[in-house]
Chain A
Amino acid sequence: MIPALDVRDLSLAIGGARVVDGVSFAVRAGEVLALVGESGCGKSITAFAAMRLLPRAVTMTGGQLLLEGNDLAALPESRMRRLRGRRMSMIFQEPLAALDPLSTVGTQVAEATGLRGAAAREAVLAMLGEVGISDPARRIRQYPFELSGGMAQRVMIATALIARPAVLLADEPTTALDVTIQAQILDLLRRLAAERGTAIVLITHDMGVVADIADRVAVMYAGRIAETGPVARIFAAPRHPYTALLLAALPRLGDAPKAALAVIPGQVPLPSAFSAACRFADRCPLVTDRCRQEPPPLREMGADQLSACWHAERVR
């Protein structure tokens, strides 16, 4: 079966800096792939590249984007536009800011259907019900300021999924929401992916979210894939020191709140300072001379797991 979205060797540049460098991942229908990494790793612009809506400063310098087997890079913008919202949608972190303050909920959800009048209204009401919005007939007349963050994210999800796209890119969809709402939204995404066979790329910096929802993970560091594999494998046996540190930073049941939130020392370098060798070397506990000289290739670690670390076998 061809993947719903297949990103191959994607490279993006800002000026001369290779912000995203040879990133590959694929998602199949009904599957949730988590794209994880700290802020500044290039997760969002990777998603923007897939939608072919890159910020002006960013250019795609290489790679292929296959949506249901079709090469997106080859499409004229007019065709691409018809795929957005229909075959591939995206939602973001600030759901309230993502709704036009001067349009009603009903109008905004209906826009993505291409329908009008009673047919649009029926479709919108049904979709709002499906994303767990009670009393949709009242909601469609409301303006964004009348919605809570969780409600607004449900509206965004309804808008994104109403045309039954093959792929949903969700960029930190729950980061701005409080914990209980976060869990509800993740459940909803999980359920919709399963029911409708939507492939979801869920972007997050939170391994907790990954554990909750994802089937597979791609860990990104400074514009490269550090490690990918099935969630269970990655959590049980990470094969990249960055993954191991992200997991160690995860608060565990029984830990004192906050106290255990270990942070990884240092920060993601600026794209202009990306090393030609291993980009994680400066923050890595396992670093050796080789890491500073040669970029580590992605290596098979068995059971569908790949790691880009010279010392993958020593990670624990």
Chain B
Amino acid sequence: MRRLPLSTLLLLAVLLLMAAAAFTAPWISPHDPLRQSLLLRLKPPGSVDPRQGVFLLGTDDLGRDLLARILCGARASFAVAMLSVAVSLVVGVSLGLVAGWVRGWAAAIIMRLVDTMLSIPAILLAVLTVAVIGPSFLSLILVLGLTRWPRYTRVAYASTLQVAAMPYIQASEMAGAGAARILLRHVLPNIAGPLMVVATSEFGLMILFEAGLSFLGLGIQPPAPSWGSIMSAGRQYVERAWWLTVFPGIGLFTLVLCINLLGDAMRDQLDPRSAGR
């Protein structure tokens, strides 16, 4: 394997750190993210309470620790993004594999559907669907997963067409392998690279969508924290309590930026025209 450039390693390290913090939130969190205290409302970052201890990032309008809520919200963000990427990846790649293998009318139908889906703004579709079926963790994942599959289908379709023409695919057909086996064993691994690039950039988008929907009240439901809902609640206190919008904003920005840069780095690594190959 080629050695990864330092910048990519650094990005990976930041991401892993954030993911680790998110997933261990219940254990490393200094406070209970749901514990309210009217006496401790809107305390600025670094406030100390003799009995409760330090509030490193301050407290919100209900006196809950912001750091605990951000960590817990990160967990929700990661979970939503991972699960919805998984759903859309499975749906999109399956359709793309079928279209690229069968071609003909099946491909025509699937690819027209892709074009149609891509011409509707995903966030609009998501907002409408959640509004109809009602907001919940599960509906968030289903809505995001089932609206964001077309990009995978496009990439999987094009790559499958390419790989299906390779002699080694013909050789497995000659050896009596069936379509399912060829697609899973030989086509899928050989198209995984470009799909991972798409999945990475979709992961970043899913984080943003989740934040956006939660900001609008259509995502993670209070009192459970989410970066979007923390910012949405903090909006009315922007002048008195800037930390409520700034810290989750920084978290969101850093996370999505790291993911996107990593996606670009992956694409460069896979691109045969890029240097160092």
Contacts and interface: CB of A to CB of B under 8 A. Distances in A.
Interface of A: 51, 53, 56, 81-86, 89-92, 94, 97-103, 111-112, 156, 159-160
15 contacts: A51-B174, A53-B173, A53-B174, A81-B176, A86-B176, A92-B171, A97-B166, A100-B185, A100-B186, A101-B168, A101-B190, A103-B186, A111-B172, A112-B175, A160-B175
Contacts of B166: 97
B167 interface: yes
Contact of B175 (A56, A97, A159): A159
A85 B176 contact: yes
B175 A85 contact: yes
B186 A98 contact: no
B189 A89 contact: no
Contacts of B189: 100, 102-103
B172 A81 contact: no
B175 A84 contact: yes
B223 interface: no
Nearest to B186: A100
B178 interface: yes
Contacts of B177: 85, 111
A112 to B, nearest CB: 5
A111 B171 contact: no
B170 interface: yes
Q: Pick from B171, B185, B190 the residue with the most CB of A within 10 Å.
A: B171
Contacts of A112: 175-176
A89 B171 CA distance: 9
A146 to B, nearest CB: 14
Contact of B178 (A81, A102, A156, A159): A81
Contact of B171 (A81, A83, A86, A98): A98
A262 to B, nearest CB: 32
B176 A156 contact: no
B190 A89 contact: no
A97 B172 CA distance: 12
Interface of B: 103, 166-168, 170-178, 185-186, 189-190
A84 B176 CA distance: 4
A172 B186 CA distance: 24
Contacts of A81: 176, 178
A156 to B, nearest CB: 7
Contact of B168 (A53, A85, A86, A98): A98
A-B pairs with lowest CB-CB distance, top 10: A85-B176, A85-B175, A84-B176, A97-B167, A98-B171, A90-B174, A100-B168, A98-B167, A102-B189, A112-B175
A97 B176 CA distance: 18
A111 B171 CA distance: 11
B190 A156 contact: no
Contacts of B170: 53, 92, 98
Contacts of B103: 56
B174 A89 contact: yes
Contacts of A94: 167
Contacts of B172: 100, 111
Contacts of A97: 166-168
B175 A89 contact: yes
A85 B174 contact: yes
Contacts of A56: 103
B163 to A, nearest CB: 10
B174 A84 contact: yes
A51 B172 CA distance: 12
A92 B169 CA distance: 12
Q: Pick from A56, A81, A92, A100 the residue with the most CB of B within 10 Å.
A: A100
Given A53-B174, A98-B170, A102-B189, 11 more contacts: A53-B173, A56-B103, A84-B173, A92-B170, A94-B167, A97-B166, A100-B185, A100-B189, A102-B186, A102-B190, A156-B171
Contacts of B178: 81
B176 A100 contact: no
A103 B173 CA distance: 16
Contacts of B190: 100-102
B176 A82 contact: yes
A53 B164 CA distance: 13
Nearest to B177: A111
Contacts of A156: 171
Contacts of B185: 100, 103, 111
A273 B174 CA distance: 31
